[in-house]
Amino acid sequence: MQNIKQLMLSYASYHRDPRNKATHFVGVPLIVYALFVALSWIRLDFVDKLPVPVTGATIFFAASIAYYLRLDLLLTVIQLPFSLVLLFLAEKTASLPFQTALTLFLGAFIGGWIIQLIGHYFEGKKPALVDNIMQVFNAPLFLAMEIAFAIGLRSDLRGDIEASKP
């Protein structure tokens, strides 16, 4: 498994333009929300003694957090509240009438990708996941990294990324 520096250097190389980064702060959460909605339709109703519903989304969320924690504690802590809100909203959406939930899922998923592609048009580069589909899992940590930089944290990582600019 790559370390956080390697992953973020790779991901950042596709995301230098500030307009592209800005679109990702909208597009990534929309896509994550949409994926959580779809995964929330998979319900494990036989597990009913827990305080939260056990769905495909909660299992995916837990696995993602475990992966992120192995990479970087601080970035995980920064992105965790955002993911929790998206998970909560997705669970609520999934419990709506199916047609309504499906419409919200499709709008968020398609809209999120359109916004992402607009950002990559500004960037002049294809999305990172075209070269490595696993990059899709690194997008939330990339956003957390950008937040960390904005509030003066992880200057070590910021220096490495800025030094790698062409």
12 lies in some domain: no
24 lies in some domain: yes
Number of structural domains the chain divides into = 1
Q: Are 35 and 106 in contact (CB under 8 A)?
A: no
Nearest of 9, 12, 28, 22 to residue 122 by alpha carbon: 22
117 lies in some domain: yes
3 lies in some domain: no
11 lies in some domain: no
Q: Are 54 and 43 in contact (CB under 8 A)?
A: yes
145 lies in some domain: yes
pLDDT in tens, 14-43: 888 999 999 999 999 999 999 999 999 998
Q: What is the pTM of this model?
A: 0.91
Burial of residue 61, with CB atoms counted within 10 A of its CB: 0-12 exposed, 13-18 middle, 19 or more buried: buried
The predicted pLDDT at position 120 comes to 93
Q: Give the domain range for residue 99.
A: 18-163
